[in-house]
Structure 1
């Protein structure tokens, strides 16, 4: 029996059913039992439960395999003994990939960067045990959104990762791949939109059951329906929720023509992004910080050649886009307008905030303009209730940009439904090519200053506990030590709480930039940092997104926003530039929720192949 032909749940994995003779267990049946319990080691109690044996019978069968050399056993604190295959023990310092096809999970011990990067293409990182064991889940939406042009290319990636063929798992993946290709939107020769299904059964039992007359006007044939104008977004959302992603093959509007020329040469992978976008008409550029997504977006603007609406979350980003367009293209200042609370200009290139563009009183202006392209910067904002209406602009080419298209509310699937499929490059390829610096990331666990804080923490409420853990005075000493270790490195220290930032600024004699600081003072400090007149700044949450934060060699996250994966990646991304060395330290107070928060903050980076080291601070007392 093999992993491909597991024992049925109601059968014992033993080779003999005679309860009067000693139980025997084959190594293949042992692997079946491992899959059933869902972890790479097993106890005698777990085997007994799975096989419906006594504990003594299970213990004896496992010991027999130890005697034959096929298993090893080890005593651990949480259970008297666990068993695992001998070859795992012999290969303790090498990567081990253990698939659990029935559960659609993959556990990888000591994964290489290549394996993590490949898994990120079709699986979701669930958690990391310690620093070495990564557990991935393959969800249906991961297959629906896998960035491949054909199932064969996806299958090739899967087989590069898994140690042996998994027919049952591969069949399920193929079913999900095909499921995402049962419906498509296309443009009829008379100009209106048609929803097409691969069969009359799907059109009748799914589409016409799930959608109402405000979305489908009338049937055209058994497999085709006339789509009500402007209902494309709601149709895609509804069928996605029903388990059927819709392929969008419409002829999108090109808008009023606008000639744009880019004043620089694109890198090879950026040219590939542009080509893939032009072929599909919509998509989300997903790449690490520093990979040049904004420049690639300008290349797409040049290729589309139509008037463009750029949506951003803040006014600061609107101003940055204007400056970048003027610096990197032949556009003039008269061709670029900003539309937000501080300005109301509609130009061939208009940069607007999501909030303003979604307001009813402004929406008609955006709907009436013949845009050829809509650019959604920081596209992870689109699923939020405030910004979601901007996704209704479905008739144009739609381009999303984000290093971290993830959301803590798990609504990232709306990004690909409303904007388009992911278009990206494996992070490790960019690391290897030297385009982006792979950061050296470390979680450093800091002990309590017991005399001052331990008693106070124990009696505090939940929000107070988070603040107390963030403000642990030993973190100040740890930051001072890290800065000393890295000499003259340009460093950004992130602090989420104003009181903590003020305390760090006073203790370390370093300026603290927060939303309370006047804009002119903030820009002066950033300018000094860029020009090398200052080598260290402390920055609040205001630096996570929406301001032109300078790049650094060193990032120290002294506190974080409840384990936000996007925040962790954004802050680490401030160091991920081609030149210099990239180092990231995340400080977490031992015995608090910060331990879990630190792990979660770095989960997205781990899923992209970046190794995270965990160490304990050696500090026990304030100096």
Structure 2
């Protein structure tokens, strides 16, 4: 065992963890602690994680124990663990699922504690008592089904995550099989880790749960596996219409479901079928304060509701998910982090984390490409720096993100990768047009006709087109070709999820199996750099190597 003074972690009494990035055991430690802590910031030399109640409870829900967490911290820590860390981990683990929601023999919804004194304790809590009906003994209290989700959140807020075993409605039956070969003739079956994800969800499916997989690892296929096992009418909620099309394509390509069994509930048509696809944006629409489309779909007898990219579920719909506690709920995501810090609501309203396999396993088995992310910091020209300094605050990011020196650096990257398939992505169309003129490469935008877009995609896949420029349509397009080099000119402010979407869906190994590359061009000492630091968190959280370099320009 390595000497403790060479270990990569410094565990502090405020439950923060400093991880030394240049330590030989960096990756080994990172791949462990990410399961029970949250990445807070990631400067060059030390990344800061924090152990929180919700991160610990999600870890426990997915199979970790308090002993394993303490053993892991001890193994990688440079110094002895602070005493309060040992106490906190054990205390939060002891609080884990000491309350259960069950149905009694009379069919009543009951909150059950493992000790009578816990019932006495929560009766004294003003934030909890409005949701309690009447005692049913020293360890049980009757609960109204209408407050099932709200009660779980109230108890979590006072330190008691609830084990929801009250069950759900089975829904109308729906049976289908997986094809041994896809419609296009390729052999197909779930990958081993995808089968594990299905099993992990089904083992504790009394209410619901979340499956965590990196972007590009096939979360959709886990959803198909759960659908097949549950065998009931399914509502699939997605981030966009393109994501809806992807789900429909995979359902038809890999299962025996016919097109008439799949309905689209969107702005163009509102057909409801045994498998119905809808978007978050449409279901978030309110009329006179009511989520009219969400309410309409609730009237159907669903046996399963799937939340695709649940970390992007809009807050109004997350709140509305409180009314889905009698349905089996599956969340699919690449991260437990949310921009609105509503992780507790996801845990209580959708379900806790059930499966989160280590990245190194997927890479070792060849299911995920090894990729290196490089942030290239570019200095603004004197003219640009002056414009940036004088600009209003809301104009500064655009000035920095569209620096002309980024285009010059792209030309250097193209000469550095003469044989690679390169996708260049940007947020601002005028910047992409200037780049197109400089490098003579086609540009794809959301306004391009689908036939022309497909022609360019096919040429890129075939290798007859080496460089392709793509607008922000890349964030959620499901038909983009893969590349082994991706260059990002500008991003969507500080969105952490956008980075994961791009790298996970686009990158593939190089011609000789070498690492794929993801270059982010960032204007130094500007809001561009500030926002890049936020987006960087998601890439490190996803397990990608991340380096920062200064441009000579």
The answer for the alignment partner of 1:596 in structure 2 is 530
Gaps of 5+ in 2: 180-187, 286-290
User: Could you list the per-position Cα deviations for residues 455-485 of structure 1 after superposition, in whole angstroms to 9, with x for gaps in the alignment?
Assistant: 2222111222211111111100111111221
- Alignment-derived partner of residue 259 in structure 1: 175
Matched residues in 1 for 2:392 and 2:14: separation? 38
Q: What is the Cα deviation at residue 556 of structure 1?
A: 1.0
Cα distance between partner residues in 2 of 1:97 and 1:457: 39
**Cα distance in structure 2, aligned partners of 1:275 and 1:287:** 14
What are the within-5 Å matches in structure 2 for residues 224-623 of structure 1?
224-263=140-179, 264-281=188-205, 282-357=208-283, 360-386=291-317, 388-422=319-353, 423-450=355-382, 452-545=383-476, 547-577=478-508, 580=513, 581-619=515-553
Match of 2:126 in 1: 209
Q: Could you tell me how far apart the structure 2 residues matched to 1:205 and 1:174 are?
A: 20
TM-score (norm 2): 0.88
Q: Which runs of 5 or more residues in structure 1 are unaligned? A: 1-86
Of 598-607 and 155-164, deviating more is: 155-164
* CA–CA separation in structure 1 for the residues paired with 2:497 and 2:474: 13
- The answer as to whether partners of 2:509 and 2:516 remain within 8 angstroms in 1 is no
* Whole-angstrom distance in 2 between the partners of 1:144 and 1:126: 18
Shift, 1:368, TM fit: 2.8
Q: Once the two structures are superposed, what CA deviation does each residue of 1:121-145 show, in whole Å capped at 9, x if it has no partner?
A: 112222233x222222212221121
What is the CA deviation profile of residues 346-366 of structure 1, one whole-angstrom value per residue up to 9, with x for unaligned ones?
Answer: 111111122444564334442
Following the alignment from structure 2 to structure 1, what is the Cα–Cα distance between the partners of residues 470 and 318? 26
Q: Distance in 2 between matches of 1:530 and 1:301?
A: 32
- Give, in whole Å, the separation in 2 of the partners of 1:463 and 1:547: 31
- In 2, the alpha carbon distance for the partners of 1:114 and 1:531 equals 38
State whether structure 2 residue 31 is matched by structure 1 residue 120. Answer: no
Correspondence 1:223 to 2:139: yes
Q: Work out which of the residue numbers 48, 66, 76 in structure 2 matches 1:151.
A: 66
Shift of 1:518: 4.4
Bigger Rg, structure 1 or 2: 1
Q: Provide TM-score, normalisation by structure 1.
A: 0.79
| Structure 1 pair 614–240 and aligned structure 2 pair: CA distance change class (3 A) | same
Aligned with 1:436: secondary structure?
coil
SS of 1:493 mapped into structure 2: strand
Q: Tell me the residue number matched to 2:11.
A: 99
1:133 aligns with one of 29, 46, 49: 46
Q: CA deviation at 1:516?
A: 4.1
CA distance, structure 2, for counterparts of residue 245 and residue 409 of structure 1: 20
Question: Structure 1 residues 387, 249: closer, same or farther in 2, change over 3 A?
Answer: closer
Q: CA deviation at 1:192?
A: 3.3
Please give the alpha-carbon distance, in whole angstroms, between the structure 2 residues aligned to 1:145 and 1:195. Answer: 21
Report if aligned partners of 2:233, 2:302 keep a CA contact under 8 Å in 1.
yes
Q: Distance in 1 between matches of 2:370 and 2:385?
A: 37
Q: Is the counterpart of residue 172 in structure 1 residue 106 in structure 2?
A: no
- Asked if the contact 1:287/1:293 (under 8 Å) is kept, the reply is yes
| 8 Å contact kept, 2:441–2:468 | yes
Kept in 2, the 8 Å contact 1:383–1:412? The answer is no
Q: Is the 8 A contact 2:485 2:507 kept in 1?
A: no
Which has the larger displacement, 414-423 or 534-543? 534-543
CA distance in 1, matches of 2:369, 2:442: 27
- The 1:358–1:195 alpha-carbon spacing in structure 2 relative to 1, beyond 3 Å, is farther
The alignment covers a number of residue pairs equal to 525
Distance 2:452 2:335 in 1: 30
More moved, 524-533 vs 112-121: 524-533
Query: Cα distance, 1:278 vs. partner?
Result: 0.5
Tell me which residue corresponds to 2:184: none
1:104-133 superposed Cα distances (whole Å, 9 cap, x missing partner): 22222224211111110112222233x222
Q: 1:383-420: per-residue Cα shift (whole Å, max 9, x none)?
A: 52255424531112211111134222222332222211
CA distance in 1 between counterparts of 2:315 and 2:509 reads 33
Give the Cα–Cα distance (whole angstroms) in 2 for the partners of residues 232 and 607 of structure 1: 32
1:142 corresponds, among 46, 51, 55, to 55
Displacement of 1:286 in angstroms is: 0.8
Q: How far has the Cα of 1:442 moved from its partner?
A: 0.7
Q: What is the Cα deviation at residue 510 of structure 1?
A: 2.4
Structure 2 CA distance for aligned equivalents of residues 340 and 409 of structure 1: 25
Match of 2:99 in 1: 183
SS in structure 2 of the partner of residue 98 of structure 1:
strand
Structure 1 residue matching 2:315: 3-state secondary structure = coil
Q: How far is the alpha carbon of 1:238 from its aligned partner?
A: 2.5
Q: Residue 568 and residue 383 in structure 1: after superposition, are their counterparts in 2 closer, same or farther (change >3 A)?
A: same
RMSD of aligned residue pairs (Cα, Å):
2.5
SS at match of 2:521: strand
